[in-house]
Chains A and B, each alone.
Chain A
Amino acid sequence: MNTKDYIESGLLELYVYGVLSPKEQAKVAQDVAKDPELQAEVESIETILLELSKATSPGVKPSLKESVITKLRSKSFQHKPKVKIMTSNYSYFGWAAAILLLGGILWLLKLNQDLQNDIEVVNSQLETKEVQITKASQKAETLEELLLQMGDPSTRKLTLPGNKLNAPNSSVIAFYTDEKEELILDISRLPEAPEGMVYQVWSLKFEPLTPKSIGLLAEANSTENRVFRFKNVPESEGFGITLEPAGGSEQPNLKQLYALGTI
């Protein structure tokens, strides 16, 4: 193909447009480089295309150039390394592991909480038991003391028979140790005092009859409210028990005499 035909074919125009295949582009580039006439034609085509494309421009704002150059200078635009976000299976394993770990931590926290609660319950149970044990040992001590006192040779056992009117079938057992001024009363056979009333114990002296209050059977030291113990008991010739209003009375109400006995 001679130069004139080459030019007339229209291949050079498409070459300048850049719409030929890469192979054709390279071939035309070679041909043009060898032939000054083709070279001149290409320049001429390019000139008209430059004019045409410039004519379609709505006008570039002068500020754009500065903006482009600023962007070039910022390092980020120069050979920006591509950061690839890892989405391999390993990352999923990572997430799964993280979730499992979180679940494990929550489970351990829950377990710890449960154990704390258990410990609290056990502690309060233990306290209750300790109180019970203390009470029981105190009771045992009291009983032991009572037993020792009852077995003391200087202790005298008295029976205070029940008053025929008020408590015909009852009686009260008394252990009196005059040396130690102590009195132990077993009232397990007396009827229970009605509400608002209380049994009062009196030390008696005869000729003339002189009652002296020893105490109330609700307040004195007792074992299960059955066995009562009194200290600092005055010298007595007998003991009486009357039912009195709560709080006790100055003088015994003899109409409410429940038990009476002499030494």
Chain B
Amino acid sequence: MQPDELILQLKKQNEVAFSQIYDMYSENIFGIINNIVKDVEIAEEVLQDVFIKVWNKSDSYSSDKGRFFTWLLNISRNAAIDKVRSKAYKNKLKNSDFDDFSFFIKDDMDLDSQSDGYGLRKFVDKLKPMCVKLIDLLFFKGYTQKEVSETLDIPLGTVKSRNRSCLNSLRETLG
């Protein structure tokens, strides 16, 4: 459910509403950002920038245009991509070790952490490799259908339906 009342209060610059929205979405946004910048320290910087934008630009959100979560996603992905393109970022991370969100599981196994790959394993185990790539590009990275079709070399017309069936496999097992 979308927290419509909180969003309304946020637009009125209500700090309590902002605090609640932060609590609701910060982990999701952090996951999205970290998947793009691939560095926790940098992701923390971007996360703060994103929530400052959420506060300053809450006026620009309208439910007529879409979901509040979608609005947050766009701000987060854009901020993270901007950071990746910045000089400071390029200086810090010369090259990345991983391609998509499933990397976090391998990382986690190596470290033998107590958590199960941030709870990610249960998702990735359900997904075919192509599904991991599709969801990574579309949801996490915000690629358009055309960009996904070119990157993964699959017909443009099938991107939508393939993505749905990938997501469905998650919904069936987890929902």
List residues of chain A with CB under 8 Å of any chain B CB.
Answer: 8-11, 13-19, 22, 25-26, 28-30, 33, 42-61, 64-65, 67-69, 71-72, 77-79
Contact = CB atoms under 8 A, between A and B. Distances in A.
A65 B22 contact: yes
Of A13, A25, A46, most buried by chain B (CB within 10 Å of CB) is: A13
Contacts of B23: 65
Interface residues of B, number: 61
A79 B55 CA distance: 11
A55 B56 contact: no
A226 B139 CA distance: 123
Interface string B123-162: 1000000000001001110111100000000000000111
A54 B119 CA distance: 8
B51 A54 contact: no
Contacts of A25: 65-66, 70
Contacts of A9: 160-161, 164
A56 B34 contact: yes
Question: Taking chain A's interface residues, is the majority helix, strand, or loop, or is none over half, making it mixed?
Answer: helix
A72 B22 CA distance: 13
A189 to B, nearest CB: 104
Given A19-B145, A44-B175, A64 B44 contact: yes
A54 B27 contact: yes
A68 B64 CA distance: 28
A29 B65 CA distance: 6
Interface of B: 1-2, 15, 18-19, 22-23, 26-32, 34-35, 40, 43-44, 47-48, 51-52, 55-56, 63-67, 69-71, 73-74, 101, 104, 117-120, 122-123, 135, 138-140, 142-145, 160-164, 167, 170-171, 174-175
Contact of B64 (A16, A17, A29): A29
B170 A48 contact: yes
A21 to B, nearest CB: 8
B58 to A, nearest CB: 11
Given A48-B175, A60-B26, A69 B44 contact: no
A54 B56 contact: no
A59 B26 CA distance: 9
- Sort A-B residue pairs by CB-CB distance and give the 7 closest, nearest first: A10-B164, A56-B31, A10-B160, A57-B31, A18-B70, A53-B28, A53-B31
B118 A13 contact: no
